[in-house]
Amino acid sequence: MSTSGQKVDLELQAIGTLLSALEPLSDEACKNIIMYVFQRLGMEFAPQDPRSATPPMSAAAASHAAGLEAEAATAIDIRSFKEEKLPRTASEMVAVAAYYLAHLAPPGERRDHIVADDIRRCFLQASFPLPSAPPHITLVKAADAGYVDARERGQYRLNPVGYNLVTNTLPRTQALLERRPAISHKKGGPLRTKPRT
């Protein structure tokens, strides 16, 4: 028999001897004996209740969990995002929706493309007027405007032009001015400039 085989046999024999010796004793007595053996051998004894013990999380799993928490924290609803960006046309709204789906939707709903079925859902959720054209035509028009690129099976992906529109151009200054209420300096209505003669 090999040395490793003999070692296994000795371990099994020791386990059997220990179990036979502890079997007639109470749980408390077994715990005391095991604690003493650990101390005698210079080993740390840290018993855990198997029902409450949590298996250690690997570094990769911990990193993934932290990433999901961070993604969940960044998720906002599409209506709030639309109110922040103030798109003026259906094509701009398509770009906003595509960006939202790729970066801001709840983690389980994120994807790098937008399809015709998303038009009605995203527009309604964002309280943006539905386009008169069919959804697939709305996507084609957004592609013609240069905001998205067509992929396979009716999928459209936000391109660099659309990305820059959403992140750097919107909201447009004029849209902000249109939303800002008129400032009145006198009772009776907004300030009016005197016409030039």
Q: What six digits make up the tokens of 99?
A: 């960006």
Q: What is the pLDDT of residue 197?
A: 47
Q: What is the pLDDT of residue 43?
A: 80
Q: pTM score > 0.85 for this model?
A: no
Q: What is the pLDDT of residue 26?
A: 84
Which region among 5-9, 33-37, 60-64 has the lowest average model confidence (pLDDT)? 60-64
> Residue 114: helix, strand or coil by DSSP?
strand
Domains in the chain and their CATH numbers?
10-40 (no CATH), 73-178 (1.10.10)
| Segment 14-59, tens digit of pLDDT | 787 888 788 888 888 888 888 888 778 878 766 655 555 455 656 6
- Closest Cα partner for 166 from 100, 119, 115, 76? 100
pLDDT above 70 coverage of the chain, percent: 68
In the chain, alpha helices (H): 3-22, 27-40, 59-74, 78-85, 90-103, 116-125, 135-144, 160-164, 173-179
As a whole number, mean pLDDT of residues 120-130 equals: 97
